[in-house]
Structure 1
Amino acid sequence: MDGRGLDRSGTIAREGALGRVTEGFVPVVDAARTRIAETFGRARLHSAYLYGSIPRGTATPGVSDLDLLLALHDDPTDADRADADAIEAAIDRAFPQIDGAGILLSSRTALLSDVERHDGGFFVACLCTPLLGPDLAELLPRYRPTSLLARETNGDLARVLPRWRTRAAAATTDTDRRTLGRLVGRRTVRTGFTLVMPRWGGWTSDLDRSAELFGRYYPDRVEQMLLAASAGRAPSPDRAALALLIDDLGPWLAAEYTAVHGEKAPRP
């Protein structure tokens, strides 16, 4: 993999691996694997994946969270969500080295569908590390840093902003605002990076590098994007900082993204 996250063919290299999990997080990953297998079993689970800082080998004890994706044989049900929630809670309680666990649920069919080819499919093939079961990446194409990939991964920020405003208005505690701040910060930086991704010609998931790369093309907004990166790593309960991201940077970024790449295809 080169300095732009590409392999020798010029396609985006898979960024994580189980071998990159640092020693302190190995017991967390082992526990997640065991609990997922015991809870879902082969009849319900097609495959399970890690993503985020832990499989990239950049996780910080006590700060980083454990991120997982489960691809089920069928569409997730309320019972599946309840089981996933129970696994999240159990792992979070057992391991102080993580700041929470999060499990995404999808189906094999959805992740391999045409509409998800450059969103969910890309996520599995390039950003996820196999943990259990057959790897869906073997059924997906190789990806390049194109405008199509930018549009389908993050071309829906305008649709997300109203939900963030509603959550911000309803946030009554510092914990609520920190939780929202981390979500807003990470998503804003990812959107800012993928806005410039085709021009830069590579891929990274590192928040600080993403913000810096964005700033090469939009220097007038780089300070705001660096604030978003900080919120994504260590969110603050500050209302003003959150409002700046949602009500100032967010609308500008959504409009610029649509102008450059277009809007993400609607999902059912």
Structure 2
Amino acid sequence: MSVPNSSGMDPDGYILSISQDPIQPEFQPLLEDVRASLSQEDLGLDGVYLYGSVARADATPGISDLDLTLVLREPPTAPRLARLEEIRRALEQRHSEVIKVDFDIGSRGNVLAPENLHRWGFWLKHHCRCLWGNDLSLHFERFRPSRDIAVALNADVEQVLAGYLTRIAQTDAEQDRLRLQREASRKIVRATHVLRSEDATTWPQTLEEHVALFVRRYPTMITQVAFFLFEARNPQAQVDNFTTRLQGFMEWMAAQAPKG
């Protein structure tokens, strides 16, 4: 049996899968409500997966998010997406033990498509635990670290961050703006992993590990990335400061990305 180490990998060089420790009792009522809410009607669900801090059993009540991946049997229709959004919002309003409920939605065909191996295959195998339904992670072998995986996981980063900048500029409510800054900061910190060197021997799990690995390669950028780590934990920057820093860091990252 392989003994885990602190590098995010086991001694055989495979990326560690998420813990299967029991879910913290503080979040059990929420997960029971999730199951009841998603099973009260036919939503076309193939499987429901938990990821993030609740899945790792290291979440903090009142501070952490609830992160769920929903895999549907068929590509989602607009009415079905709208209904899932209604359910997500209702769960968020009923449960103060998390500050946000997230649904990442895909379809079975997309998950199992060979071209999505490094994105969906890796995601389900190493970041998710199946709550109920078909566990598609069983279709995949364990993965070794590679830049291809990092790029696949962050293929949407420019689009997502541009969306956050638009929403931040349009919101008048400070609480909503700070929440968006927190989410955007988490995204950009994780996206720094696309700049990992091909011969990197570790795989980050937490935001702090992402920052440490990034700074090891780009030590002169420690102040810039530390700003986003702070905002990911305790957002408080003024809107102009945040958007200027985010746009600048996005441009810098784009300039560093390997060409071709």
| TM-score of the two chains, using structure 2 as the length reference | 0.89
Q: CA deviation at 1:46?
A: 1.0
In 2 relative to 1, CA 156–60 (structure 1 residues): closer, same or farther, beyond 3 Å?
same
Q: CA deviation at 1:115?
A: 2.5
Partner SS, residue 118 of structure 1: helix
Aligned to 1:188: 188
Q: CA deviation at 1:106?
A: 1.0
* Residue correspondence of structure 1 range 1-268 to structure 2 within 5 A: 1-17=4-20, 19-40=21-42, 44-196=44-196, 198-236=198-236, 238-256=238-256, 258-259=257-258
In 2 relative to 1, CA 166–91 (structure 1 residues): closer, same or farther, beyond 3 Å?
closer
State how far apart, in whole Å, the 1-side matches of 2:245 and 2:41 are. 39
In 2 relative to 1, CA 189–135 (structure 1 residues): closer, same or farther, beyond 3 Å?
same
In 2 relative to 1, CA 177–197 (structure 1 residues): closer, same or farther, beyond 3 Å?
farther
**1:19-68 CA deviation, whole Å, 9 max, x = no partner?**
34222112212221232223346xx2111101111111221111111111
State how far apart, in whole Å, the 1-side matches of 2:191 and 2:159 are. 13
**1:87-124 CA deviation, whole Å, 9 max, x = no partner?**
22232222211112111211011011123211122111
| TM-score of the two chains, using structure 1 as the length reference | 0.86
Aligned to 1:266: none
Matched-pair contact (CA < 8 Å) for 2:24–2:57: yes
Q: CA deviation at 1:161?
A: 4.7
Partner SS, residue 138 of structure 1: helix
In 2 relative to 1, CA 85–162 (structure 1 residues): closer, same or farther, beyond 3 Å?
closer
The unaligned stretches of length 5 or more in structure 2 are none
Equivalent AA in structure 1 for residue 196 of structure 2: V
Question: Identity over aligned residues, as a percent?
Answer: 28
The unaligned stretches of length 5 or more in structure 1 are 264-268
Moved over 6 A (4+): none
The worse-fitting range, judged by mean Cα deviation, of 222-231 and 86-95 is 86-95
In 2 relative to 1, CA 254–155 (structure 1 residues): closer, same or farther, beyond 3 Å?
farther
State how far apart, in whole Å, the 2-side matches of 1:204 and 1:16 are. 15
| Number of residue pairs matched by the alignment | 257
State how far apart, in whole Å, the 2-side matches of 1:176 and 1:223 are. 25
The worse-fitting range, judged by mean Cα deviation, of 211-220 and 170-179 is 170-179
Q: CA deviation at 1:171?
A: 3.2
In 2 relative to 1, CA 91–156 (structure 1 residues): closer, same or farther, beyond 3 Å?
closer
Q: CA deviation at 1:207?
A: 1.0
**1:167-195 CA deviation, whole Å, 9 max, x = no partner?**
34323331342132122201111011342
The worse-fitting range, judged by mean Cα deviation, of 223-232 and 67-76 is 223-232
In 2 relative to 1, CA 54–198 (structure 1 residues): closer, same or farther, beyond 3 Å?
farther
The worse-fitting range, judged by mean Cα deviation, of 193-202 and 177-186 is 193-202
In 2 relative to 1, CA 34–203 (structure 1 residues): closer, same or farther, beyond 3 Å?
farther
State how far apart, in whole Å, the 2-side matches of 1:40 and 1:102 are. 20
Partner SS, residue 114 of structure 2: coil
Give the root-mean-square deviation of aligned CA atoms: 2.2
**1:104-161 CA deviation, whole Å, 9 max, x = no partner?**
2110110111232111221111111110112111112321211211222225544545
The worse-fitting range, judged by mean Cα deviation, of 88-97 and 108-117 is 88-97
Matched-pair contact (CA < 8 Å) for 2:147–2:196: no
